Copies of this chain bind each other. A is one copy, B any other.
Amino acid sequence: MFNYRIRDLVKSNIRNLRGYEAREVPCRIKLDANESPYGLREWDCRKIARLLRAVKTNRYPDPGAEELKRAAGKTFGVSPDSILTGNGSDELIYYLTITFGGPVLYPVPTFSMYGIIAQALGEQSVEIPLDRAFDIEIERMLKAVKRESPKLIFLSSPNNPTGNCFSVDRIMRIIEKTKGIVIVDEAYQPFSSKKGFLPLLGDYKNLAIMRTMSKVGLAGLRVGFLIADAEIISEVNKVRLPFNLNSISQAIAVEALKDKGRLDSNIKKIISERGRIYKEMGAMSGIEPFPSEANFILFKVRDPEGVYNSLLKKGILVRDMSSIIKGCLRVTVGRPAENTAFLKALKEAVSDL
């Protein structure tokens, strides 16, 4: 007879694991999750409906996502053999960590899933604080590379939640000094003025890049890409679930990638709005925005909790980052009218408090 607590049965590394918290907070203007304000609804709905009627939902999806990899290959300028598709980049982080194991090294603060997944899999993670400019503290990082021999190094650039790109020469030194795989997570690269790492793929066998459709209008579909040497792809592919990417997401993502004009125009609008928000925030007293290469802006206020609550009272949801970076909130760039409402509410919040 079973008379144990389930808790005593789980692996010890799971016992104290706290998963990623994704709470749904009711709001009118949602600027908390680095989503694009422009989604499928902006497109030709009839075209999508036709597309969906052609998808045989009773059949398993294409296990190799071949059509999607061809479309993504064109977008990224790489061969489809260099691409692995994931149910979001999250899943690719899982697969990388399952394949190579730990230690897993990354600077902090950064995207929290690198650490959560390492813990879920019982792999050691090593966190190195960023410097005061939110750049990689290169000497400490290289020391950690030497000391820990990490199997995986995750570098989110542009980095979430700080918004900046890490210095290219620091990333290069890490790639050159490590025996492990360096994954540059370029989730926010479409919004960056800096060159990404795709052109360097051929030169560095241990360089891998992650891209996603989550920040450019398709977060709900869960489509992420790992781009790397075919040998890395082939090893990670062994642990991939054969049908990890559903047919409808495959079909819509193909159409979205082909409609490059639409994607690019939405990205341009967001970059332009980011400039406006940054400038207007900078002109407010009591607000210190940090420059951003992403679709969000990190900013410092005297009373983050007060400002957060004041914004929420007006129906505007941002992300409170103050437990991770002192005094900081993070706002995602929305539609122009949403951004205007945010700026107005922010101005009122700081003058009220």
Instruction: Report the separation of the CA atoms of residues A235 and B19 in the bound assembly, to the nearest whole angstrom.
Output: 10
Residue-by-residue, is A193-232 near B (CB-CB < 8 Å gives 1, otherwise 0)? 0000000000011100000001001111110000001011
Question: A243 contacts the other chain (Cβ, under 8 Å)?
Answer: yes
Instruction: Report the separation of the CA atoms of residues A59 and B101 in the bound assembly, to the nearest whole angstrom.
Output: 31
Beyond A2-B205, A60-B22, is A120–B238 a contact (Cβ under 8 Å)?
A: yes
Instruction: Report the separation of the CA atoms of residues A30 and B58 in the bound assembly, to the nearest whole angstrom.
Output: 11
Question: A179 contacts the other chain (Cβ, under 8 Å)?
Answer: yes
Which residue of B62, B87, B99 contacts A244 across the interface (Cβ within 8 Å)? B87
Instruction: Report the separation of the CA atoms of residues A185 and B152 in the bound assembly, to the nearest whole angstrom.
Output: 35
Q: Which residues of B contact A90 (CB under 8 A)?
A: 241-244
Question: A143 contacts the other chain (Cβ, under 8 Å)?
Answer: no
Question: A289 contacts the other chain (Cβ, under 8 Å)?
Answer: no
Q: From residue A23, how far is it (CB to closest CB) to chain B in Å?
A: 8
Question: A249 contacts the other chain (Cβ, under 8 Å)?
Answer: yes
Instruction: Report the separation of the CA atoms of residues A84 and B236 in the bound assembly, to the nearest whole angstrom.
Output: 26
Beyond A19-B240, A98-B120, is A2–B220 a contact (Cβ under 8 Å)?
A: no
By the criterion CB–CB under 8 Å, are B63 and A22 in contact?
A: yes
By the criterion CB–CB under 8 Å, are A58 and B98 in contact?
A: no
Chain A, 31-72, CB within 8 A of any chain B CB: 33, 35-41, 45, 48-49, 52-53, 55-64
Which residue of B222, B231, B240 contacts A246 across the interface (Cβ within 8 Å)? B222
Number of this chain's copies in the complex: 2
Instruction: Report the separation of the CA atoms of residues A199 and B140 in the bound assembly, to the nearest whole angstrom.
Output: 57
Q: Which residues of B contact A121 (CB under 8 A)?
A: 98, 121
By the criterion CB–CB under 8 Å, are B1 and A60 in contact?
A: no
User: Interface on chain A toward B: helix, strand, loop, or mixed SS?
Assistant: loop
Instruction: Report the separation of the CA atoms of residues A62 and B178 in the bound assembly, to the nearest whole angstrom.
Output: 39
By the criterion CB–CB under 8 Å, are B242 and A6 in contact?
A: no
Question: A348 contacts the other chain (Cβ, under 8 Å)?
Answer: no
The residue of chain B having its C-beta at the shortest distance from the C-beta of A9 within the complex is B100
Q: From residue A4, how far is it (CB to closest CB) to chain B in Å?
A: 6
Q: From residue A96, how far is it (CB to closest CB) to chain B in Å?
A: 10
9-residue interface stretch from A10-18, A280-288, A306-314, A320-328: A10-18
Instruction: Report the separation of the CA atoms of residues A252 and B90 in the bound assembly, to the nearest whole angstrom.
Output: 23
Interface centre among A1, A33, A60, A64 (most CB of B within 10 A): A60
By the criterion CB–CB under 8 Å, are A45 and B49 in contact?
A: yes
Instruction: Report the separation of the CA atoms of residues A9 and B244 in the bound assembly, to the nearest whole angstrom.
Output: 24
The residue of chain B having its C-beta at the shortest distance from the C-beta of A228 within the complex is B6
Q: Which residues of B contact A5 (CB under 8 A)?
A: 231
Chain A, 334-350, CB within 8 A of any chain B CB: none
The residue of chain B having its C-beta at the shortest distance from the C-beta of A37 within the complex is B58
By the criterion CB–CB under 8 Å, are A6 and B248 in contact?
A: no
By the criterion CB–CB under 8 Å, are A238 and B6 in contact?
A: no
16 A-B residue pairs with Cβ-Cβ distance under 8 Å, sorted by A, are A14-B235, A19-B237, A19-B239, A19-B240, A30-B59, A40-B52, A40-B53, A40-B58, A41-B56, A48-B49, A87-B87, A90-B241, A90-B244, A91-B244, A246-B248, A248-B248
Residues of A within 8 A of B (CB): 1-2, 4-7, 9-11, 14, 17-22, 24, 30, 33, 35-41, 45, 48-49, 52-53, 55-64, 87-88, 90-91, 94, 98-101, 113, 120-121, 151, 175-176, 178-181, 204-206, 214, 217-222, 229, 231-232, 235, 237-244, 246-249, 252
State the 5 A-B residue pairs at the shortest beta-carbon distance, nearest first.
Answer: A39-B58, A220-B247, A49-B49, A22-B63, A40-B57
